[in-house]
Amino acid sequence: MIQSKNVVKDYGVNGSTVHALRGVSLDFEDGEFTAIAGPSGSGKSTFLHLAGCLDTLTSGSFVIAGTDTAKLSKKQLALLRRRKIGFIFQAYNLIPVLSCVENVSFPLTLLGVDKRTAWERSFIALRDVGLEGLENRRPKEMSGGQQQRVAIARALVKNPSIILADEPTANLDSKIGREILEIMLKLNQSEGTTFIFSTHDSMVMDYARRLILLRDGQVERIERRK
């Protein structure tokens, strides 16, 4: 599903160069439930952004679903991102003026899905994450855990091959965080969707079937957890 080889990512900051990733090579198969962990500055979020076509490589290669991202234009990267990848962010990134169902249906609108079909699929996605009956609430009327469930539904509604979750439990207490992880694990098992997390949370690491530890932009070690 994802193949990265000798991935290097450098950033220019205040006239100096930050080496965020230093030759990372990692492969991910269909149906993985994998966590990438490490201290701040280790490169885990940078790796996720590259995997999600939100950023471009300095050097190396990133192949996603058989497509070499280095050979794509910005428009082609956006299309790959829309069609193949779902995102779950720690800040939820919901649109505050839209209801739950409108937030969830938004990615389908970008793909040109008609409104009736988009809403039908969005209602199903919200039901699958336990929010049936709350479809018309706006984000400010919901708890953090409920907002994260909306974000999960939004990521799932277009049936992506890959879901990238950047610190998905960071703003949640442990009980709600565990409920969120159980939802994602169930979807992984029932739908075969590939989940890749970046995290500091030991609970997320415990749920992962594979744990990749980064340090200073390099792979420190890889552990099989289950």
2-13 β-sheet, strand order = 16-28, 2-13, 59-64, 67-68
The mean pLDDT values, 10 residues at a time, for the chain of 226 residues are 91 85 93 92 90 88 87 86 85 90 92 91 90 92 90 87 87 85 87 90 92 94 84
Q: Compute and round to an integer the Cα radius of gyration of the chain.
A: 17
Q: Which two tokens stand for residue 127?
A: 């039901």
Distances (CA, A) of 73 to 7, 69, 107, 150: 19, 8, 20, 31
Q: How far is it, in rounded angstroms, from Cα 46 to Cα 197?
A: 12
Q: Which two tokens stand for residue 113?
A: 């899905």
| pLDDT at residue 170, rounded to an integer | 82
| pLDDT at residue 95, rounded to an integer | 92
The CATH architecture of the domain made up of 2-224 is: 3-Layer(aba) Sandwich (3.40)
Q: Which segments of 42-133 are extended strands (E)? A: 59-64, 67-68, 85-89
| pLDDT at residue 226, rounded to an integer | 65
Q: How far is it, in rounded angstroms, from Cα 140 to Cα 135?
A: 13
| pLDDT at residue 223, rounded to an integer | 92
